[in-house]
């Protein structure tokens, strides 16, 4: 379907949706990196996850559950993150990310560094689906995407009631800077509780946005 502002390839989008298996897991990592790694065992500029948000939908029209982890101690966040992630994940169902290459590569790296979790993380990667595909492949085009497939543009174009602009932390680069300053460098301690809450809100919107966008697509096809 074409209109003055949108192009929708319903057949391709419907085929994409039909590949999804419940329960659906909407996963997003926040990471930090630096030329000099903050912790032993990492290479320069390696992305180190310190936070995740995970929304889980057990069945169509089911109840949406939210799980999350944010590391708040001045040490390597990955061991604690992996422990929580494994507890929060179901053993089956599609794992949905936006630009899934990023999450997949983090899982590969963490699995190599922590072999006891390698099978678990490989299982996540095998089930992963990229929700960016309908937009990057041009199956759904809106003039307000401005020719891009960023979730920061797709979300407000389709669902203007949700906006990153309303958040105190509104992008991954800012999340990384604030986390490093507050948790690793010990700055902003008088605002630490608020900053932690702001980090949680930002990462949670990333995964809720994927859920909301998927629901929007389902309604349009």
Domains of the chain: 6-220 (3.30.420)
**Tell me, what DSSP letter sits at residue 115?**
G
The per-residue pLDDT of the chain, averaged, comes to: 95
pLDDT in tens, 89-137: 978 999 999 999 999 999 999 999 999 999 999 999 999 999 999 999 9
Here the tokens at position 207 are 């995964």
pLDDT in tens, 73-84: 999 999 999 999
What pLDDT, in 10s, does the model give residues 24-33? 999 999 999 9
How many whole angstroms separate alpha carbon 53 and alpha carbon 19? 23
Whether omega before 23 lies within 30 degrees of 0, making that bond cis, reads yes
- Which pLDDT score, from 0 to 100, does residue 113 have? 98
- Judge whether 82 and 110 are in contact, CB under 8 Å: yes
DSSP code string of 174-190: HHHHHHIIIIIS---GG
Q: How confident is the model at residue 189 (pLDDT cuts 50, 70, 90)?
A: very high
* Number of Cβ atoms within 10 Å of the Cβ of 72: 16
Reduced to 3 DSSP states, what percent helix, strand and coil does the chain have, rounded to the nearest 5?
A: 50, 20, 35
Query: Is residue 71 left, alpha or beta, with left meaning phi > 0 and alpha meaning psi from -120 to 50?
Result: beta
Number of H helices, E strands in the chain: 8, 7
pLDDT, tens digit, for every residue of 165-187?
Answer: 889 999 999 999 999 999 999 99
Structure tokens at 76: 């390597």
């Amino acid at each position: 379907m074409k209109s003055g502002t949108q192009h929708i390839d319903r057949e391709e989008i419907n085929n994409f949706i039909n590949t999804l298996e419940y329960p659906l897991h909407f996963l997003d990592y926040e990471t930090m990196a630096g030329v000099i790694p903050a912790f032993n065992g990492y290479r320069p500029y390696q992305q180190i996850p310190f936070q995740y948000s995970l929304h889980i939908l057990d069945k169509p029209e089911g109840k949406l559950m939210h799980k999350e982890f944010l590391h708040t101690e001045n040490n390597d966040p990955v061991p604690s993150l992996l422990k929580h992630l494994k507890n929060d994940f179901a053993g089956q169902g599609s794992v949905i990310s936006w630009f899934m290459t990023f999450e997949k590569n983090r899982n590969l790296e963490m699995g190599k560094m922590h072999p006891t979790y390698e099978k678990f993380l490989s299982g996540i990667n095998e089930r992963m689906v990229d929700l960016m595909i309908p937009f990057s492949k041009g199956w759904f085009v809106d003039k307000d995407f401005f020719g891009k497939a960023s979730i920061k543009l797709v979300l407000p174009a389709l669902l203007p009631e949700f906006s990153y602009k309303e958040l105190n932390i509104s992008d991954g680069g800012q999340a990384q800077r604030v986390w490093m300053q507050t948790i690793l460098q010990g700055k902003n301690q008088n605002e630490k509780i608020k900053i932690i809450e702001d980090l949680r809100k930002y990462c949670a919107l990333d995964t809720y946005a994927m859920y909301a966008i998927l629901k929007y697509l389902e309604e349009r096809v």
